[in-house]
Homo-oligomer: A and B are copies of this chain.
């Protein structure tokens, strides 16, 4: 089994305790700000500082890739949509673009494994690992070397965003077929059946859903439990390069002491594997949005995360987490803006 890259250090207990003390001393009933108090203390813990700094610089990084299974009838959309969506984000008129602008969040996109290239957008392809992936029910999605390359790319992207000032990161997803990969990875990680984790993605009917479950079961059977026990092998066998890059990104942020807000089922699958790959990562995470995909709840339960909002979004691109960002900012504001009872006399 691949060794974990490193144990990720824990956030600061001292800052967490100081935040609790600050909150408890405020001119309000004890605990009256509920989850905002817990969130505010978590922000202090990950920043290692109390009072916390404002979360002015929040960034969603979208990892785009195609998936071989998408041509096997698991999705409501053709794979050509992936490239159109990449162009939409690059052009600033996609769903996540609109929501990010409204919430003071920056957006970037990386082509990790889209089936086509974007010669007119060279900056988004500099971390590209391959074109699409193999259909997981028939063959390994990619090689171990490609997984390692993608993990390193994600880590490098996290490092660059953090060096540029990012205080909170979001891993966004983009790619037709990616809820099939997410379900496979969650089922493999948790050791449960495809039927328990698989949902309707962007909106498939019962027949397609049953086929999607069968494809995932076939992939899990093909690979076997022994190889699926290792997070890197798991990504190679039933994963994808865009997922591996996001795993490297999430773990890389945690290793550098920068928190990550998890979006829907794709990011939840990536976070689950990031915790396997770099134990301790989960302490640096919060969940932004409750997905309609059943696998997300199972993954978040394992990670001990509860989503901040539940608005039935199923767009992907990091959009659910983006909508939840103001709640974290409210938690910071509550810690920094309410008078201490002792100061009021």
Contacts and interface: CB of A to CB of B under 8 A. Distances in A.
Copies in the complex: 2
Contacts of A103: 326, 329-330
Interface stretch (A89-97, A124-132, A148-156, A272-280): A89-97
A19 to B, nearest CB: 14
Interface string A2-17: 0000000000000000
B313 A327 contact: no
Nearest to A92: B337
Contacts of A191: none
A18 interface: no
A95 B103 CA distance: 22
Interface stretch (A33-41, A65-73, A180-188, A251-259): A33-41
A34 B312 contact: yes
Contact of A102 (B34, B99, B309, B330): B330
Contact of A29 (B33, B76, B311): B76
Contacts of A323: 36, 326-327, 330
A101 B95 CA distance: 27
Contacts of A292: 34
B315 A95 contact: no
Given A88-B27, A93-B27, A103-B326, A315 B33 contact: yes
A199 to B, nearest CB: 13
Contacts of A77: 29
Interface of A: 26-36, 76-77, 84-85, 88, 91, 93-95, 97-99, 101-103, 202-203, 292, 308-309, 311-315, 319, 322-323, 326-327, 329-330, 332-334, 336-339, 344
